[in-house]
Structure 1
Amino acid sequence: MPDYGLDLEFGIFPSPDATRHREVLELAQLADVLGLEHVSIQDHPYQAAHLDTWTLLSLIGSRTNQVRLSTNVANLPLRPPVVLAKAAATLDVLTGGRVELGLGAGAFWDGIVAAGGRRLTPGESVDALAEAITVMRGFWAGEPGRFEGRHYSSRGLRPGPRPVHHIPVWLGAYKPRMIRLTARVADAWVPSMGYADPPALPDLNARLDDAAVAAGRAPQDIRRIYNVFGRFGASSDLLRGTPKDWAEQLTDLAVGIGMSTFIVGAEDPGFVRRFAEEVVPLTRELVAAEREGDTEERTPAEDMTRHVPKDLSDGAPASISTGSVRRFTPQQLAIPAHLVEVHDHLRAELEQVRDIVRQVREGHASVGTARSAISTMTMRQNNWTLGAYCESYCRIVTGHHTNEDLGMFPHLLRSDPTLRPVLTRLHDEHEVIAQLLDGLDRALVALVAEPGHESSGQRPLDALSDALDDLSDSLLAHLTYEEEALHDPLAVHGFG
């Protein structure tokens, strides 16, 4: 089967488990920091254990900077196309053009009907999907609504806002009519392991190619996205072996069948980190070598060292530009990974503070109850109080930033003077965060010492929440920027 020559893309497919919402957000942030292209979320509104997909994607969008956000796939029978188009366009505007839309014709019809949707026949569901795509693309183009279909209508609609980029539409398709619809109108085809395992892909791909040609399109106009699932181990089975095994198997799927985007089911940050840092770069290299005809045998050690540019492998200094594409050894990658680990600890501890304050605000816990809850946390001390806990957390953040300002930053600047603008920004952000920490301390004093006192028209609890929000917004944005901006410099020069 053909290799369509498209750039490879990778992403994660975490379960929107409501009991693990913090972990899901952290996985999305980790994917963003590690340079993966996609975070994709399934959509089953009738599933009691799942978070709402669009609400979750919106929060992920607010906590990430580069990763693209997609439904995989949106449950069209429970999401009217005009409302879905507006939601996608809105999130696209808010995230600077990072939305892609996976759509499905519908499944699990008992659940759909129980949630208020209509039960459709297979033929009706495909027709409804085709109409919905017409309605949504007209909406995104800003065209006055004049569509009248059997299932959906936009007549008289005044659409808006328009998205800031062309929103790619993915279709999950297996049956002939859906394959033909995908060939006519979709930007991407997204099958999943379990529904279409690798042996089934060549035939489905060939049908999609033939249908695309019949519709007047080139097969390479349709990106092939594959939802995959596996684990690392010692098995020779598909996606059950070492990272090198994974890379070789994904390479076969890319150059042998034409799949160019791999979205991996993931629930564990260690798995995501290993996938991004070991599987992804090696897969990119193997595919590039196949495309260039470089198929010579290499040892695992040679495979890894081929990721290191010559100016790095021979020890010479290298100029680093933020966002540049570099490949490093696992030893080099361990250095920026340690910075992320430190930051992840800060994020987790901050989330604990937020949760405690939230409980107090909502009346679910008194300050005394919060003290009792905090006493079970890792960072605890004698005579624990809400104020003492936050005070301890603030000291950790301040200490981390002081170490960077006095040690790591000067070392990086000496190693690469072109980093001065980045390091200056980071230092300035440290000053801002220090001021916000002082503001949080003052709000804590007012809450713990005088919980009922009114000051300048604002209750101490409100002042505490505002101070915590200000700190959270600034600190989380700062940590993400620092991880992205210093990833390559730290891999090259270390902490000093």
Structure 2
Amino acid sequence: MSDYGRPLQFGYFLVPDAGDPVIEHARLADRLGLDLIGVQDHPYQRRYLDTWTLLSVIAAVTERVTVFPDVANLPLRQPAVLAKSAASLDLLSGGRVELGLGAGGFWDAIEAYGGPRRTKGAAIDALGEAISVIRQIWSGERNRRFEGEHYRLRGAQAGPSPAHGIGIWLGVGGPKGLALAGRAADGWLPSSPWAPPERLPELHARIDEAAVEAGRKPSDLRRVYNINGAIGPDRPASQWVAELTDLAVGFGMDSFVFWAEGDQERQLHLFAEEVVPEVRRQVALEREA
């Protein structure tokens, strides 16, 4: 595995627990200069705030950080309306939205909220259809039509178009999902608990093969990594720097979304002030060499 050479990004994985000071944490991430805030989307979790509502408030009270669902729960988010939501927030925030998409997985909980229960294959097929629907809605063109097994458009009036080309990043790990990412997505969004570093080469390879078959370059896709853990005595900042540098130049990842354990404010400061600048420096040196 090699370095795809894309610019580095660093972000914060914000857990939307209604009992936490989530807006203060988001503002801190913005002040500390992080590039991204990702929010998981599990509407059936009773203690969690709604993800799109939270992302909208975060965008309103921050100045520079980009927000995205990490990842949007597609079975509970109708894609045409999801596209409208993303485009609207992108316009209102001055182009600070990306779209993480997931096929779904907690089917009992999804069904409890009125969503469809899908097999793995059907879920990926629906995800592919959703990408087509979303891009049509973002086109801003009239009389949009799409006929799929799961979704359809029948003379839809699309628009408004987003302020910038919103990236669609897929949180997928199976062969069909990875191939879909390579063919049709703008990025791949795995999490370290289910896609540890030792698995990344095989997963990248499936994406890259599909990208090449579709006439794309593997470097066209951003590789965004949710990384879980704590910066502290057992895993100091220097170790995080070494690990993230290796993930960038040796394992092809270019964006790191910190899923912090423990004291969120302290962890954010350590990540933004002691890890991020040094990773940027070391990656720049290795790329120059």
Q: Normalising by structure 1, what TM-score?
A: 0.57
Q: What SS class does the counterpart of residue 250 from structure 2 fall into?
A: helix
CA offsets 1:391-425 (integer angstroms, 9 cap, x no match): xxxxxxxxxxxxxxxxxxxxxxxxxxxxxxxxxxx
1:203-352 correspondence to structure 2 within 5 Å = 203-235=202-234, 241-266=235-260, 268-293=264-289
More displaced stretch, 198-207 vs 35-44: 198-207
Distance in 2, Cα, partners of 1:175 & 1:143:
34
CA contact (8 A) 2:39 2:68 kept: yes
* Alignment partner, residue 5 of structure 1: 5
The yes-or-no answer on 1:35 pairing with 2:26 is: no
Deviation digits for residues 289-333 of structure 1, max 9, x if unmatched? 11122xxxxxxxxxxxxxxxxxxxxxxxxxxxxxxxxxxxxxxxx
Question: What CA distance in whole angstroms lies between the structure 2 residues aligned with 1:268 and 1:54?
Answer: 22
* Structure 1, 264-273 or 60-69: larger mean CA deviation: 264-273
- The structural deviation recorded for 1:129 is 0.8
CA distance in 2, matches of 1:117, 1:184: 27
Task: Report the counterpart of residue 388 of structure 1 in structure 2.
Answer: none
Compute the displacement of 1:210 (Å): 1.5
Q: Secondary structure at the match of 1:258?
A: coil
Q: Is the 8 A contact 2:146 2:154 kept in 1?
A: yes
Given candidates 111, 114, 117, the residue that maps to 1:116 is 114
CA distance in 1, matches of 2:35, 2:137: 26
SS in 1 for 2:6: coil
For the residue of structure 1 that corresponds to 2:100, the secondary structure is strand
Identity %: 55
- Matched letter for residue 278 of structure 1: E
CA RMSD of aligned residues (A): 1.0
AA matched with 2:243: Q
Q: Which runs of 5+ in 1 are unaligned?
A: 236-240, 294-496
C-alpha separation in 2, matches of 1:19 and 1:164: 33
The structure showing larger relative contact order (alpha-carbon pairs under 8 Å, at least 6 residues apart) is 2
- 1:25 corresponds in structure 2 to 23
Number of aligned residue pairs: 286
| Structure in which a larger fraction of residues adopt helix | 1
Deviation at 1:233, TM superposition (A): 2.4
**1:243 CA drift (Å):** 1.2
The structure 2 residue matched to 1:129, chosen from 127, 130, 134, is 127
CA distance in 2, matches of 1:188, 1:205: 11
Output the CA distance in 1 between the equivalents of 2:183 and 2:141.
21
Structure 1 residue 245 displacement after superposition: 1.3
Could you tell me how far apart the structure 2 residues matched to 1:214 and 1:85 are?
A: 27
What whole-Å deviation, never above 9, does each CA across 1:240-289 have from its counterpart, x for those lacking one?
x2212111110000000110000011361111011101100000011011
* Matches of 1:129 and 1:276, distance apart in 2: 34
- Which secondary structure state, in structure 2, belongs to the residue aligned with residue 19 of structure 1? coil
Alpha-carbon separation, structure 2, partners of 1:221 and 1:162: 22
Give the letter for the 1:89 counterpart. A
User: What pairs with 1:292-441 in structure 2 (closer than 5 Å)?
Assistant: 292-293=288-289
* 1:208-259 Cα distance to aligned partner (Å, 9 max, x none): 1122111111000011110001112233xxxxx2212111110000000110
Distance 1:164 1:232 in 2: 36
1:68 corresponding residue in structure 2:
66
